Amino acid sequence: MSANESQSTQTNGPETLTQPSTSRNLVQAPGTAACGPAIPNSAAATTAPPNLPILIWNYTEDDFKDIFATWGRYSTPELVISSPFYTKTVVMTDPAARRKFSENKDILTREVHAVHPVPREELQDMGPNCLHHLGEQLEEERWYLDRDPAFNARLKETLARIDDALEFVFRVQFPGSRLFSSRGPTEL
């Protein structure tokens, strides 16, 4: 195994909260190892997030493109837009991506076209900063005022999935804080 292979973690495979279903390589931050000691034989050991090294988002040119979250029967941008559970949200591009790709420094926003609930792998592919901003924007839009209860339930599920990804995958949210949803973490 080369030095580069040992530095990155390929994240293909079944979807879990400890292994995001994203095709991106997440790179272990230099000088980081598993976070803290394992909790031996207690109830907390089965519910606590795993002890994993800190991972850094690997920015690409795709971090500047608009996002169409396609899934299931919503397999094309046209089908996504025609869904009754569709939202279009404008989010900020990640400042770190703009620093890495200086030729794109003037691209400040991108659009997220989504049918709710957005699948976890689509959310995790956005990266932690874009995902956090998406949660803020969805919450601020107050979609629930204009839509039916079925839409509201789907949007709430998307917000819960955003919280799950920020807490368990990217570990940038304080455990249990649930910034965008009021319920506890989902079980997979």
- Quote the number of domains for the chain: 1
Contact 130, 91 (CB under 8 A): yes
How far apart (Å, rounded) are the C-alpha atoms in residues 16 and 154?
20
Q: Report pLDDT for 13.
A: 34
How far apart (Å, rounded) are the C-alpha atoms in residues 156 and 107?
29
In a domain, 181, yes or no: no
The residue among 113, 111, 23, 126 whose CA lies nearest residue 69 is: 113
In a domain, 185, yes or no: no
Identify the helix (H) or strand (E) that includes residue 151: helix 149-164
DSSP string, 74-88: B-SHHHHHHSTTEEE
Q: Report pLDDT for 3.
A: 42
Q: What is the pTM of this model?
A: 0.66
In a domain, 20, yes or no: yes
In the chain (188 residues long), the average pLDDT of successive 10-residue segments reads 39 38 47 45 46 66 91 92 93 90 92 93 86 89 75 90 85 73 52
Contact 185, 164 (CB under 8 A): yes
Q: Report pLDDT for 172.
A: 76
Q: Which domain holds residue 74?
A: 3-169
- Cis preceding-peptide flag for 117 (omega within 30 of 0): yes
Q: Report pLDDT for 109.
A: 94
The residue among 158, 146, 182 whose CA lies nearest residue 71 is: 158
In a domain, 145, yes or no: yes
Looking from the CA of 169 toward its CB, the CA atoms found within 13 Å total: 30
In a domain, 34, yes or no: yes
